[in-house]
Amino acid sequence: MTPERPEEGVGYSPSRRRFLEIISLGLSGAIAAAVAVPVIGFLLAPLFARTSEAWRSVGSVKSFKIGQTVEVSFTDASPLPWAGLTARSAAYLRRDGAEQFTAFSVNCEHLGCPVRWVASAELFMCPCHGGVYYKDGTVAAGPPPRPLRKFDVRIRAGNVEIQARPVSIV
């Protein structure tokens, strides 16, 4: 004689094993969704990102000497309202002529470490991995794969302005 087993339907109550299977599958699905949503958001963010550029004044033309390279600071092109000091960015600005300026990023193209200008050698030096750039921003030695990034520069109403871009992560 075999014991009677109730069929699914009216009056059916699942076994404890089946109940735990359902709970486990539900929790696994919730955890997978909690992990997948941020990953998908990260992957799709560049498609919806707005690239903003803005001209930022860094000083009057008279305050820069011909042939001199100086560090200037300005507000990033896309600062968040709560960014505070992190919204500040910098560049090296060199006056090449009466109305000619060149601006370089302060970040090494190898891994983004801040470079420093050594005026006596007329070189940009990266302290992290020994990257060296000539005064025109081209690579002199070390691991940097490309020259220093340049900013567009213009003179407007007697002031030097740099076209700031959001900080690149690539």
Residue 104 CA to residue 89 CA, distance in Å, equals 12
At which residue do the structure tokens 């003179």 appear? Answer: 155
| Alpha carbon 26 to its chain's center | 37
* Amino acid in the structure at residue 162: I
Express each pLDDT in 1-40 by its tens digit.
555 555 555 666 678 888 899 999 999 999 999 999 888 8
Gyration radius of the chain's alpha carbons:
29
The CA-CA-CA angle for residues 91, 92, 96, to 5°, reads 135
Looking at residue 29, what is its pLDDT?
93
Q: Would residue 84 be called left, alpha or beta, if left means φ above 0 and alpha means ψ between -120 and 50 degrees?
A: left
Express each pLDDT in 88-146 by its tens digit.
888 999 999 888 999 999 988 888 889 999 999 999 999 888 899 999 999 999 898 99
Looking at residue 100, what is its pLDDT?
92
- Report which secondary-structure segment, H or E, holds 125: strand 123-125
Neighbours of 50 (CB within 10 A): 6
Say if CB 169 and CB 123 are below 8 A apart. Answer: no
Residue 117 CA to residue 126 CA, distance in Å, equals 9
Residue 41 CA to residue 113 CA, distance in Å, equals 28
